[in-house]
Amino acid sequence: MKKLIFTCVFLFVASVSSAWAGQLGNPAKLIGQGRFDVGFQWNSMFKQGFEDYDLKRTYSNGHQNEGRKGAEFENDQYYMGTITYGIIDQINVFAQLGIVDGGKWLDQEAGNNWKADLESNFVWAIGAKGKIYEFQNGLGFGLGARYMRYDDRKAKNWRYTETGETAGQLGWSTEDNLDYWQLDIMANAYWTIGNFTPYAGAGYTYYDVNFSGRWTHETTDFSQVDYSGSFSNQNNFTGIVGLDVDLGMNFKANIQGTFVSSTALTLGISYCF
C-alpha cells in the first residue's frame, strides 16, 4: 500500500507538480499572477457523520422492503498532490489528484450494526480561491470553493459488531460499491505576520454518498439480497483553523484543522515558482 501511494504521488508530482491545504488549496494565502505552486498534502479524516437514510432491499424471490439506517465514515487518509496557478493576483485555481485509503464504514441500525473496511481509491478535486481585500498590515479576507470526488470505491470485510463475526463467518459473500462527492464553499480571514500567516474560516460543506451492493448467502432461502441507498452529511457548517509558514527559498508549510461537518487534520508542504 505504501509503495502504491508513493508511486502515484511521485508520478503526479513529476508530470505536473502540485500545491494543497484542504478546502482553501495550498497555501491558504494566494500566489501572484502567472506563478505556480506545487506540493503534497496529507489529510486525516477522523470522522464524517451522515443523516439517517432509507436502505432499499430487493430479495431473490422478488420481495422488497426498506430499513432506516445511520452511517459514519472514520479514519479516511487522503494523500494528494496539488497544482495551483495564479490567474491574477486576486484569483487562483487549483487541481488535486491522489489516493484515499484506510477508511471504515459504520452501518448503524438498532440491533443490526455492521462495520466495513473501505478500499484504497483514486480521488480528484478542482477548486478556486479569491482575495476580497488585504490591508497594508497583512490582514486579509478571501473566498474559496472546491469540488472533490471518487467513484466505485469498494467496501469489504463486513463485521457484525454485536458479536464480532464477519459476514463470511455468517455465510454471506458481499459486493458493495460507493460513489462520493463533496462541495466546500468557504470564507476566511488571515493575517500575515512575518513568515507566519494564521487564518480561520467558516462556510458550507455538502458531501453525498450513493451506493449499491449484493449479499449472497450460502443457503437457498433468500439467498441473494440487492441493496441501494444514498446519504449526505448531518451538518453542513464547516469551521477551519490553520497556519501557513514561509520556510524560505519559495517553500511553504501548512497545518489545518477542520471541525463540525467533519473532524480532520491536514498537513502539507509546497513550492512556489
pLDDT per residue, tens digit, the chain (273 aa), is: 544 444 443 333 333 333 335 555 555 678 999 999 999 999 999 999 999 999 999 998 888 999 899 999 999 999 999 999 999 999 999 999 999 999 999 999 888 899 999 999 999 999 999 999 999 999 999 999 999 999 999 999 999 999 999 999 999 999 999 999 999 999 999 999 999 999 999 999 999 999 999 999 987 665 899 999 999 999 999 999 999 999 999 999 999 999 999 999 999 999 999
- The model carries a pTM of 0.87
pLDDT at position 25 is 55
Nine-digit cell at 51? 443523516
Cβ 82 vs Cβ 90: under 8 Å: no
Number of domains in the chain: 1
pLDDT at 28: 64
pLDDT of residue 223: 80
Calculate the CA 216 to chain-centre distance: 31
The conformational region for residue 176 under phi > 0 = left, psi -120 to 50 = alpha, else beta, is beta
Asked whether the beta carbons of 116 and 75 are under 8 A apart, the reply is no
Residue 19: predicted pLDDT: 33
CA pair distance 196, 85, nearest whole angstrom = 22
Coil, helix or strand for 73? strand
pLDDT, residue 5, reads 42
Q: State the CATH number of the domain containing residue 230.
A: 2.40.128
Q: Judging by beta carbons within 10 Å of its beta carbon (0-12, 13-18, 19+), is residue 144 exposed, middle or buried? A: buried
Query: Which pLDDT value is given to residue 12?
Result: 34
Can you give the residue range of the structural domain that contains 135? Answer: 2-272
